[in-house]
């Protein structure tokens, strides 16, 4: 049985354009993961997280990484590229798989900050 995810994006340029999109995504499964990373140098400052069970990243229709704080100290790796989590990262649509790369099943997250970091990962996908 499928699940529906409602996505709303609203971008307002002050004194300029407004872009607003609403979309309903149909997915077979939703994976939601809360992760706490210890401060830099501590055990658990770097963790490899299984963000979805399939080896086929093309099944992903929604990928979100959010944090309680955006100080640029939390990073993650996608296809050997280091990504700085300096704002919520939201990828919407089946084409998202091209940005995630082929090895997106497990993603390594690291905290370079002096405080613990809490992140949330949300993945909407087709069945494995």
| 29-88 residue pLDDT tens | 999 999 999 999 989 999 999 888 766 677 889 999 999 999 999 999 987 889 999 999
Query: Is the pLDDT confidence value at 100 over 90?
Result: no
Percent of the chain whose predicted confidence (pLDDT) is above 70? 95
Indicate the pTM of the whole model: 0.89
CA-based torsion, 43, 34, 112, 53: positive or negative: positive
- Residue with token string 């955006």: 70
Stretch 82-107: mean pLDDT, rounded? 86
Query: Is the pLDDT confidence value at 1 over 70?
Result: no
In order of their start, the domains of the chain are: 28-125 (2.60.120.10)
Q: When comparing pLDDT for 1 and 108, which is higher?
A: 108
Query: Is the pLDDT confidence value at 128 over 70?
Result: no
Chain centroid to CA 7: how far?
14
Distance set, CA 22 to CA 92, 93, 103 (Å): 11, 12, 29
Stretch 82-111: mean pLDDT, rounded? 87
């Amino acid at each position: 049985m499928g699940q529906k995810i409602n996505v709303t994006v609203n971008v307002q340029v002050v004194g300029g354009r407004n872009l607003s999109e609403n979309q309903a995504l149909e997915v077979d499964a939703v994976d939601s993961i809360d992760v706490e990373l210890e401060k830099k140098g501590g055990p658990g400052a770097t963790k490899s997280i299984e963000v979805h069970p399939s080896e086929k990243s093309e099944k992903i229709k929604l990928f979100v990484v959010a944090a309680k704080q955006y100080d640029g100290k939390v990073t993650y790796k996608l296809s050997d590229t280091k990504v700085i989590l300096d704002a919520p990262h939201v990828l919407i649509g089946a084409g998202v798989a091209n940005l995630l790369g082929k090895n997106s099943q497990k993603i390594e997250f690291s905290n370079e900050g002096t405080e613990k970091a809490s992140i949330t990962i949300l993945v909407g996908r087709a069945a494995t």
